[in-house]
Amino acid sequence: SLPQTRRPNFEIGADEMEVGMGIHGEPGIARGALKSADAITDEMLDRILPEMAPSRGDNVAVLVNSLGSTPLMELYIMNRRLKQRLDDIGVSVHATWVGNYCTSLEMAGASVTLEHLDGELQKMLDHPCDCAMFRAG
């Protein structure tokens, strides 16, 4: 919600969730009943992995981001499930970040980013970086 509008960007029931919603409440691709962190992670990966089409032995970087009010513990539960699913298909997680990286006012939920790493990207990702909202390497 933007303060000047005095109305919410969207409305959703206390027992509902939306998959694919934008960071500022843009409509997603599906609404349904609330689920466990593991079930939500599975649903997200079931949509991401077919498009990404990783192969056994591939390396990825993972970012699990809180949209604002999702507790860190829930994000780590999601991260654990991501790792389990990727291990099951032989994909190695080279680097992981879990936390508040891109948030919005009055927003609950999480986003998952998987980046396929070739040798060049992996080398760049390993390069030291230390700035206000991100640290790596």
- Indicate if the pLDDT at residue 1 is higher than 70: no
Query: Per the domain annotation, does 46 fall within a domain?
Result: yes
Task: Assign 3 a pLDDT band (cuts: 50, 70, 90).
Answer: low
- Indicate if the pLDDT at residue 119 is higher than 80: yes
Structural domain count of the chain: 1
Task: Give the separation between CA 54 and CA 96, rounded to whole angstroms.
Answer: 17
Task: Give the separation between CA 94 and CA 82, rounded to whole angstroms.
Answer: 13
pLDDT at 2: 62
The predicted model gives 31-55 an average pLDDT of 95
pLDDT digits (tens, 9 = 90+) for 47-62: 999 999 999 999 999 9
Query: Per the domain annotation, does 60 fall within a domain?
Result: yes
- Indicate if the pLDDT at residue 24 is higher than 80: no
Query: Per the domain annotation, does 14 fall within a domain?
Result: no
Annotated active-site residue in 24, 94, 116, 127: 24
Q: Which long-range contacts (CB under 8 A, 24 or more apart) does 104-107 make?
A: 104/23, 104/24, 104/25, 104/67, 104/68, 105/1, 105/2, 105/68, 106/1, 106/8, 106/68, 106/69, 107/23, 107/24, 107/25, 107/67, 107/68, 107/69
pLDDT digits (tens, 9 = 90+) for 61-96: 999 999 988 999 999 999 999 999 999 999 999 999
Residue pointed to by tokens 């970086």: 129
| Catalytic annotation present for 24 | yes
**Phi and psi, residue 119, nearest 5°:** -60, -40
Query: Per the domain annotation, does 22 fall within a domain?
Result: no
Question: What CATH number is associated with residue 47?
Answer: 3.30.1180.20
Query: Per the domain annotation, does 108 fall within a domain?
Result: yes
Residue 77 or 134, more confident = 77
Query: Per the domain annotation, does 70 fall within a domain?
Result: yes
Query: Per the domain annotation, does 20 fall within a domain?
Result: no
In this structure, the chain runs to a length of 137
Query: Per the domain annotation, does 10 fall within a domain?
Result: no
Domain of residue 68: give its range: 38-136
